[in-house]
C-alpha cells in the first residue's frame, strides 16, 4: 500500500520524474487523515514567516476596507436581503448562474423558472453541492460560515421555498440582480476580451496584471470546440496587442481543455493525445508568436493525470521548448498536489 510519508520527505523532490508519476495515482484514494498528518509538519510557519503573513494580511484588509465601491455594493444587497441568513446566501448562489447568461430575456426566464416552487426539487438534484457553495459565499461576503446542514434544513429546496414564501417575486429579482452586480464587480472584468482589457488598463498601469479566463467553457460538439478555439485565438491576439501598448505587466490567457474537444475524457486518451494535442499546440504557436503567456486551467480531478500527460507532451515539443510562458494550474488542496508540483 502506498504510504503518505513517501511524498513528504525532502528526498522525494530529488527523485527522477518517473518516481513522481508513480506517486500521483495512489494518492487519489489515500486516507486523508494520514496524509494530512504528514503535510501539516511541512506547513508550519516560522516566527519570521508568521510576521510576514500578518503584515500582508493586515495590508490586504486595509485596502479592501478602503474600497468604498465594494462596501457600498454589499450594503445595497444587505438592504434587500441579509447575507447573514441561509436564504440570502442561497440567493447569491442562484445569482451566480445569471453571470453566464448574455441577454436579459434569457436571464429573466431563468429567474422566473427558478422561482417556481413546484420545480425546486427537479432543479436542485445536487443540493449538497449548492449547500457547500452557499456556505462559501457566506464566508466570502460576511466573514461568517453560514450553517447549511442538509440534515437540519431538509434540503436546499426547503430553504428556497421559505425564501419564495417570505418575499415577492419582484423583490427577489431585484436582489438577484444586485447580487450579480457584486459578483460582476469582484470577479468578472468584462463581457468580452476587449472590454476586460479596457477595464484592466488602469490597474495594469498600477502594476497589476490578469490571467484572462472565459466563463462557462464546455464543448459538447465539434462545433462548440471550434468556436472556443477561435474565441481563444481572438483573446490571444487581443492580449498580444495590449501587451505591445506597454501600459503595465503583460496579461496572460487561461484555457480549459474541456472547451477544445468534445471527448476530453480518460477513455478517449488516444484522441486527446492526438486531436486535442494538435489543437492546443496550434494555440501555443499563436501565443508564443504574440508573446502571450498561456496557462492550462484545472478541471475535474478524475482528468488530472490525463491533463498532465498532455501537458508533458506539449511542453516537450520543439516549438514550446525554451519559451518559459506555458504553465499548468495545480489545485493546491488536492491530495496529489505535492507529487504534481515536484514533477
CATH number at residue 177: 1.10.2060.10
The answer to whether position 201 is within a domain reads yes
Same domain, 183 and 282: no
Question: Which of the residue ranges 101-110, 162-171, 205-214 has the most confident prediction, judged by mean pLDDT?
Answer: 205-214
The answer to whether position 264 is within a domain reads yes
Same domain, 180 and 240: no
The answer to whether position 324 is within a domain reads yes
> How many structural domains compose the chain?
2
pLDDT tens for residues 41-53?
Answer: 878 888 999 999 9
Same domain, 118 and 237: no
Q: How far apart are CA 182 and CA 187, in angstroms?
A: 8
| Structural domain harbouring 170 | 63-187
Same domain, 208 and 334: yes
Residue 87 CA to chain centroid, in angstroms? Answer: 24
pLDDT tens for residues 173-188?
Answer: 666 666 666 666 666 7
Res. 121: pLDDT tops 50: no
Question: Which of the residue ranges 115-129, 181-195, 202-216 has the most confident prediction, judged by mean pLDDT?
Answer: 202-216
Q: Which pLDDT value is given to residue 132?
A: 42
For range 332-341, the mean pLDDT = 85
CATH number at residue 326: 3.20.20.220
Q: Angle CA(141)–CA(135)–CA(213) in degrees, nearest 5? A: 65
For range 309-334, the mean pLDDT = 92
The answer to whether position 199 is within a domain reads yes
Same domain, 199 and 174: no
Cell of 282: 496550434
Same domain, 73 and 121: yes
Q: Is residue 326 within a helix (H) or strand (E), and if so which, with residue range?
A: strand 326-328
Residue for grid cell 498532455: 310
- Using a pLDDT cut of 90, give the percent of the chain over it: 31
Q: How far apart are CA 96 and CA 85, in angstroms?
A: 17
Q: Assign residue 295 a region (left: φ > 0; alpha: ψ between -120 and 50; beta: otherwise).
A: beta
Query: Is the pTM above the cut of 0.85?
Result: no
The strand order across the sheet containing 252-255 reads: 211-212, 252-255, 293-296, 326-328
The answer to whether position 85 is within a domain reads yes
The neighbour count for residue 177, using CB atoms within 10 Å, is: 15
- Using a pLDDT cut of 70, give the percent of the chain over it: 59
The answer to whether position 11 is within a domain reads no
Res. 126: pLDDT tops 50: no
Amino acid at each position: 500500500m502506498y504510504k503518505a510519508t513517501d511524498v513528504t520527505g525532502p528526498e522525494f523532490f530529488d527523485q527522477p520524474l518517473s518516481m513522481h508519476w508513480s506517486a500521483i495515482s495512489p494518492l487519489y484514494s489515500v486516507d486523508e487523515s494520514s496524509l494530512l498528518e504528514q503535510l501539516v509538519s511541512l506547513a508550519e510557519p516560522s516566527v519570521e514567516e508568521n510576521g510576514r503573513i500578518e503584515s500582508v494580511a493586515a495590508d490586504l484588509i486595509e485596502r479592501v476596507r478602503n474600497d468604498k465601491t465594494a462596501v457600498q455594493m454589499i450594503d445595497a444587497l444587505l438592504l434587500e436581503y441579509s447575507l447573514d441568513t441561509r436564504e440570502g446566501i442561497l440567493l447569491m448562489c442562484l445569482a451566480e448562474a445569471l453571470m453566464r447568461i448574455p441577454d436579459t430575456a434569457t436571464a429573466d426566464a431563468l429567474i422566473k423558472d427558478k422561482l417556481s416552487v413546484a420545480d425546486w426539487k427537479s432543479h436542485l438534484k445536487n443540493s449538497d453541492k449548492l449547500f457547500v457553495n452557499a456556505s462559501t459565499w457566506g464566508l466570502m461576503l460576511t466573514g461568517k460560515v453560514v450553517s447549511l446542514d442538509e440534515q437540519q434544513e431538509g434540503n436546499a429546496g426547503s430553504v428556497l421555498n421559505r425564501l419564495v414564501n417570505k418575499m415577492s417575486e419582484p423583490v427577489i429579482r431585484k436582489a438577484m440582480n444586485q447580487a450579480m452586480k457584486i459578483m460582476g464587480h469582484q470577479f468578472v472584468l468584462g463581457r468580452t476580451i476587449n472590454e476586460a482589457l479596457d477595464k484592466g488598463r488602469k490597474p495594469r498601469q498600477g502594476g497589476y496584471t490578469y490571467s484572462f479566463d472565459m466563463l462557462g467553457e464546455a464543448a459538447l460538439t465539434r462545433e462548440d470546440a471550434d468556436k472556443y478555439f477561435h474565441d481563444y485565438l481572438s483573446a490571444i491576439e487581443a492580449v498580444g496587442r495590449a501587451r505591445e501598448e506597454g501600459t503595465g505587466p503583460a496579461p496572460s490567457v487561461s484555457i480549459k481543455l474541456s472547451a477544445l474537444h468534445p471527448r476530453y475524457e480518460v477513455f478517449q486518451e488516444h484522441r486527446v493525445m492526438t486531436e486535442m494535442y494538435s489543437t492546443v499546440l496550434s494555440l501555443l504557436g499563436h501565443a508564443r508568436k504574440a508573446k502571450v503567456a498561456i496557462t492550462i486551467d484545472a478541471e475535474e480531478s478524475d482528468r488530472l493525470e490525463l491533463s498532465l500527460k498532455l501537458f508533458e507532451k506539449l511542453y516537450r515539443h520543439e516549438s514550446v521548448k525554451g519559451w518559459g510562458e506555458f504553465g499548468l494550474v495545480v489545485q493546491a488542496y488536492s491530495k496529489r498536489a505535492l507529487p504534481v508540483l515536484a514533477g
